[in-house]
Amino acid sequence: MPLRLAHSGDFHMEEDRYFGDTARCLEWFVADAIRANVDVFVVNGDLTTYKQTIKERNLWVDTLIQMGNHAPVILVAGNHGKELDGDLHVLARAKAGHPIYLCTEPDMVEIGEAAVAVFPYPRKAEMAGDGHSLGETFARQLDEFNRRFEQRPGSYKLFFGHFGVAGARVSSGQPLVGRCAEYPLDPLRSLKAQYVGLSHVHLRQQLAPRVWYSGSLSRCDYSEVEDKGYHLVTLNSPELRPDLSDLDVEFRVSPTRRMVELHAVYEDGALRLPDNLDLATLKDSRVKVVVTVPNGPDHLLSREQQENLREKLLAANPAELKVKIEHDADLPVESGPIATAHSAEEKLRAYWTMKGVPPVDRQERLLTKLAEVEKAVLSA
């Protein structure tokens, strides 16, 4: 019988940032994969952005139990948060009808008739050497996976990894260079795996006939304008066929919200939005407006003008609205109120008044943290 699996990664669940949208997409992913009757779930790294909060952890525990009650789950450590330092162990202890396999080191997992090679993001100690030795270690590990695949001639053969690959593109369209652990493509081309599923790069793309980045499940940044989703992978036979007839990769598009970045200009006392802006396109989207303002105390965008801008855009019913004020880079940066402020708290309050962000409750949390830092420094 065919083997069907759901491959997704780079969830970046973050309690204070897009939590509702990310949680909604995660819920959709599980429900959609269950409807497709998958035999395996692959959660391929970066479950959260930072060390898990209680809210993030509880959501992931509930979600993994839901997955595990339907099919086995392979949980791969990524590079965000503390995933390589034990942060995922509490998730792997969740009790479900099927096992949850936690992979923080390169490993081969056997699930029924499937042999699954897993290569998590490398630990810092593994990256301490030069790039050449890192690539050699990677190639040797993949050779070992090939040897173990050959020992399982009647098994479905899969590989999942969380890392960068030379030549991969990010959502802005630029090559992924110098930002992460990056490996060459050739060893992946030589793998005897029927499907090579990668995560870490948020832009879905195919690097070779059997090598894929599934991309992130939801949008994590305003540069990510492409569709998001997960890979529903079907292996029709354990035989690795030259014509790829053993492999079917279906991209299932998630319901993540659109992210729209607008650029406005404030000059001669007037605020100008783009002439071609259709406010109807902002409905249910996460919207960020970047307003460019001439520098100096005589060119400040007033609180009233900011509120008028917000009211105009909120009338379009966006799911979220952020306004960011930027000053011309070729002029002196510090404006009057900030220049005349004395303490760090006064300067922050003046800056927030000018920018209109963040929300008041978050300002107070940041000021409390600032006071703790200042106290620690002074007492040192």
Which DSSP string do the residues of 319-380 spell out, in sequence order? SEEEEEEEE-TTS----HHHHH--SHHHHHHHHHHHH--S-HHHHHHHHHHHHHHHHHHHH-
In this structure, the answer to whether residues 218 and 299 fall within a common structural domain is no
| Cα–Cα distance, 250 to 233 (Å, whole number) | 6
**CATH classification at residue 182:** 3.60.21.10
Sheet containing 195-199: order of strands: 107-111, 114-119, 156-162, 195-199, 211-213, 205-208
Q: Based on the domain organization, do 151 and 237 belong to the same domain?
A: yes
Q: How confident is the model at residue 367, as a pLDDT?
A: 80
Burial label for 93, CB within 10 Å (0-12, 13-18, 19+), is exposed
Spans of the chain, pLDDT less than 70: 124-132, 173-179, 295-300, 328-342, 354-357, 376-380
- Label residues 59-69 b or e (16+ Cβ within 10 Å = b): bbbebbbbbbe
Q: What is the pLDDT of residue 310?
A: 87
Q: Are residues 212 and 277 in the same domain?
A: no
Are 374 and 264 in the same domain?
A: yes
What's the confidence (pLDDT) of residue 70?
A: 98
Residues 242 and 264 in one domain: no
Cis peptide before 294 (omega within 30 of 0): no
Does 220 share its domain with 270? no
234 & 148 share domain: yes
Examine the domain organization and report whether 25 and 149 are in the same domain: yes
Q: Do 296 and 224 lie in a common domain?
A: no
- For residue 304, the enclosing domain spans 259-379
* Domain end point (choices 253, 286, 301): 253
End-of-domain residue from the set 190, 224, 253: 253
pLDDT digits (tens, 9 = 90+) for 351-377: 777 666 677 777 787 888 777 777 766
Of 253, 282, 310, the domain-final residue:
253
The pLDDT value recorded for residue 182 is 87
Tokens of 102: 């936690």
What is the pTM for the complete model shown?
0.79
Do both 328 and 236 map to the same domain?
no
Q: State how far the alpha carbon of 335 is from the alpha carbons of 165, 294, 297, 328, 351, in Å.
A: 44, 10, 5, 12, 9
The number of domains in the chain is: 2
Looking at the structure, do residues 79 and 133 belong to the same domain, yes or no?
Answer: yes
Residues 245, 194, single domain; the answer is yes
How far, rounded to the nearest angstrom, does the alpha carbon of residue 153 sit from its chain's CA centroid?
36
